[in-house]
Structure 1
């Protein structure tokens, strides 16, 4: 009986959707704020329910009874089956996208999340959702002024001496205006949450949760609870800009510390001047979106170097800091030529924006994740299987590795991850696989730790960013090689700590027991130092070999005279 409730309530909603939506629209023009709020809330729920239930029915019918005329053993019928499935994905994605665009707010955020899962969802879905990443409507200046009065008790004119009425950026949850602080005269960027969000965020989250329950009831093979769980866990923090201010400050400290320890970085995090729940004021920075290729060319910034630095930046956050920015789409990453006095070691700075969505990664998780990636890069199938099981409880390790890398299993199995460019044939194979293996992918996403979900998203966004920048063919191979260096260091540090602890354990025991001889202590130290030297040599070999890979990729993409000579020498040696 409990399973029937989501269906009955949703079907009832769909049955009444047309008259109720009409009533809600009429209410907007003829009633006060309280009734207007309720009418809008009802309309939002019905729009969402209608889109999801109709789409669910479409899938149930089209994948089952709708294919009754096709012979499973006929190759031509199999082609038709695939074509029908593609059309089904396309019209379903368009239906859901229209609903998300009309409802706005959290639904736009959800659509952006779906668009980022390029190697996890059918291409028809991710491609259709892509416009939601750029086409967000701004809130009116009147609503912005009202928000300042309600939240800060002051009008804009008392805080800012100038305030550009046209936003310089509009996202799903907020918009940004350029302004000048009245007290100091400093140019600032003012991030303001869309006022309407707080009005409907709670009901929207409940609606998404209930519709996820309906999907689970209608399609037991698809487990999408993780989607609503992630929204409920992360959205309240994203809607409180004080969390973003703290994340921003911590990230800036992390990269400053890395520089002080000798790790070069191009990252710049804008200083936050002050933050309230729905308003954040930070230093204003000139620059452009990182995917503005013309801007990069005009400022002599090499896309290959930007791609490499992005790989370093996010490897640093994942493996060393354990504090990860999980939303690196092009709107959240800016670039500019290196200003005077900058600590950047390149001719550009990467400016990280929007620090609302972060994930803290434990040392144990980072180590296991590094071991998994090291196994994937080395094409060690047994190790991939072992670490996939320990990290995510996943038996389907081949599919898991493909999800993680965005590469075909044959490429991983043949140890070509850092050696072979992803061609159109492989890209097409992966895109088709996302549709053909949808049930298996959904099962993996439902079972893996929540940390891995956001890492999947981050990986996909970074791969998409390389594509948007028009990065060279070696970009992904270079990324894997750079990441492999960080993985090697994490593993070495863990081995070093284990060896040190083992030596200290014997030494501590020796100081309290007379029967433990000096010879035993010396032997423990000798074995320990030998193991430490061996671990260091292993780490150094991996680091240097991956450095050579990166150098070779850079050289090959430049097509320089040196590369052509070395390539001919290599061909002669092989011959």
Structure 2
């Protein structure tokens, strides 16, 4: 069924076969390392490192890109775009004027994300769509896993498993990874809070809460998110 089936090999072992699995892209070691550092910085609110990575990728709107990566509002940055959006809410303007100004500023924010297309890693297009599908699948299944924690943990883990780094740097990354895992405990607390609410019938899972918050913020910016566009 679908794009997957299992067949028996001559030695009797099963083999998973992917059919028509579409486009895929190979990531360079440089980008793989930068993406791991970026995700770890997102989880630890390391805004300086986020700014360094996004600048390397030709992105100006670091906060907006961070939110797009997490698929939830990023609350650790300067919130410059959101402040500009709120500044457009002048009581002396009509509703249509405020809506127009917010849309224009949002469009400018998107332009800032694509500020330097020559430096913008094309891998991000594939990764972004993939992460949206993963989020949708997790939400559809009732948010059984803490998606954001898993991404952050594997990003941190990749930094000390990277054999291209000097041994000393890898040892430092091991220590930082242990500290990072302790920090991730807070993410677990949030995940199990929403999970308990879901089991008690008091609300949806963590992905449902994330989706609701993301739609609320997007609506404030004059953007309507269509979730089904990213399904499949």
Instruction: Please say whether Structure 1 and Structure 2 have the same fold, judged by a TM-score greater than 0.5.
Output: yes
Contact 1:361–1:451 (CA under 8 A) maintained in structure 2:
yes
Once the 2 structures are TM-superposed, how far is the Cα of residue 370 of structure 1 from its aligned partner? 0.8
Q: 1:466 to 1:382 in 2, by over 3 A?
A: same
Is residue 413 from structure 1 mapped to residue 81 from structure 2 by the alignment? no
* 1:2-33 CA-partner distances (Å, limit 9, x unpaired): xxxxxxxxxxxxxxxxxxxxxxxxxxxxxxxx
Measured in 2, the distance between the counterparts of 1:458 and 1:435 equals: 28
Measured in 2, the distance between the counterparts of 1:552 and 1:453 equals: 31
Task: Identify the structure with bigger relative contact order (alpha carbons < 8 Å, sequence gap 6+).
Answer: 2
Is residue 458 from structure 1 mapped to residue 164 from structure 2 by the alignment? no
Give the structure with higher Rg (CA): 1
Is residue 270 from structure 1 mapped to residue 5 from structure 2 by the alignment? yes
Q: What runs of 5+ residues in structure 2 fail to find an aligned partner?
A: 79-101, 200-232
Is residue 379 from structure 1 mapped to residue 16 from structure 2 by the alignment? no
Measured in 2, the distance between the counterparts of 1:497 and 1:399 equals: 31
Once the 2 structures are TM-superposed, how far is the Cα of residue 404 of structure 1 from its aligned partner? 1.6
Measured in 1, the distance between the counterparts of 2:66 and 2:22 equals: 28
Once the 2 structures are TM-superposed, how far is the Cα of residue 376 of structure 1 from its aligned partner? 1.3
* 1:74-118 CA-partner distances (Å, limit 9, x unpaired): xxxxxxxxxxxxxxxxxxxxxxxxxxxxxxxxxxxxxxxxxxxxx
Structure 1 or 2: more helix by fraction: 1
Secondary structure in structure 1 of the residue aligned to 2:21: coil
Secondary structure in structure 2 of the residue aligned to 1:270: strand
Q: What runs of 5+ residues in structure 1 fail to find an aligned partner?
A: 1-167, 170-190, 192-268, 272-282, 285-340, 343-349, 415-432, 501-527, 561-575
Residue in structure 1 matched with residue 189 of structure 2 by the alignment: 552
Contact 1:485–1:543 (CA under 8 A) maintained in structure 2:
yes
Contact 2:34–2:53 (CA under 8 A) maintained in structure 1:
yes
Measured in 2, the distance between the counterparts of 1:456 and 1:434 equals: 22
Residue in structure 1 matched with residue 106 of structure 2 by the alignment: 437
Secondary structure in structure 2 of the residue aligned to 1:467: helix
TM-score (norm 1): 0.25
Measured in 1, the distance between the counterparts of 2:124 and 2:105 equals: 22
Residue in structure 1 matched with residue 61 of structure 2 by the alignment: 396
Structure 1 or 2: more strand by fraction: 1
Equivalenced residues, count: 167
Contact 2:5–2:17 (CA under 8 A) maintained in structure 1:
yes
Measured in 2, the distance between the counterparts of 1:486 and 1:464 equals: 20
Once the 2 structures are TM-superposed, how far is the Cα of residue 469 of structure 1 from its aligned partner? 3.4
Residue in structure 1 matched with residue 214 of structure 2 by the alignment: none
Measured in 1, the distance between the counterparts of 2:60 and 2:108 equals: 15
Measured in 1, the distance between the counterparts of 2:71 and 2:192 equals: 24
Contact 2:161–2:170 (CA under 8 A) maintained in structure 1:
no
* 1:299-344 CA-partner distances (Å, limit 9, x unpaired): xxxxxxxxxxxxxxxxxxxxxxxxxxxxxxxxxxxxxxxxxx99xx
Contact 1:377–1:412 (CA under 8 A) maintained in structure 2:
no
Once the 2 structures are TM-superposed, how far is the Cα of residue 439 of structure 1 from its aligned partner? 4.4
Q: How does 1:534-553 map to 2 (within 5 A)?
A: 534-546=172-184, 548-549=185-186, 551-553=188-190
Q: 1:482 to 1:352 in 2, by over 3 A?
A: farther
Measured in 2, the distance between the counterparts of 1:489 and 1:434 equals: 39
Measured in 2, the distance between the counterparts of 1:352 and 1:553 equals: 35
Once the 2 structures are TM-superposed, how far is the Cα of residue 551 of structure 1 from its aligned partner? 4.7
Contact 1:481–1:549 (CA under 8 A) maintained in structure 2:
no
Secondary structure in structure 2 of the residue aligned to 1:359: coil
Measured in 2, the distance between the counterparts of 1:353 and 1:550 equals: 36
Contact 2:160–2:170 (CA under 8 A) maintained in structure 1:
no
Measured in 2, the distance between the counterparts of 1:484 and 1:434 equals: 32
Measured in 1, the distance between the counterparts of 2:17 and 2:76 equals: 33
User: Which of residues 473, 479, 486 is equivalent to 2:147?
Assistant: 479
Measured in 1, the distance between the counterparts of 2:113 and 2:149 equals: 26
* 1:176-229 CA-partner distances (Å, limit 9, x unpaired): xxxxxxxxxxxxxxx8xxxxxxxxxxxxxxxxxxxxxxxxxxxxxxxxxxxxxx
Q: 1:403 to 1:553 in 2, by over 3 A?
A: closer
Measured in 2, the distance between the counterparts of 1:555 and 1:398 equals: 27
* 1:237-262 CA-partner distances (Å, limit 9, x unpaired): xxxxxxxxxxxxxxxxxxxxxxxxxx
Secondary structure in structure 1 of the residue aligned to 2:166: helix
Residue in structure 2 matched with residue 206 of structure 1 by the alignment: none
Q: 1:555 to 1:401 in 2, by over 3 A?
A: closer
Q: 1:439 to 1:460 in 2, by over 3 A?
A: farther
TM-score (norm 2): 0.57
CA-atom RMSD in angstroms: 3.8
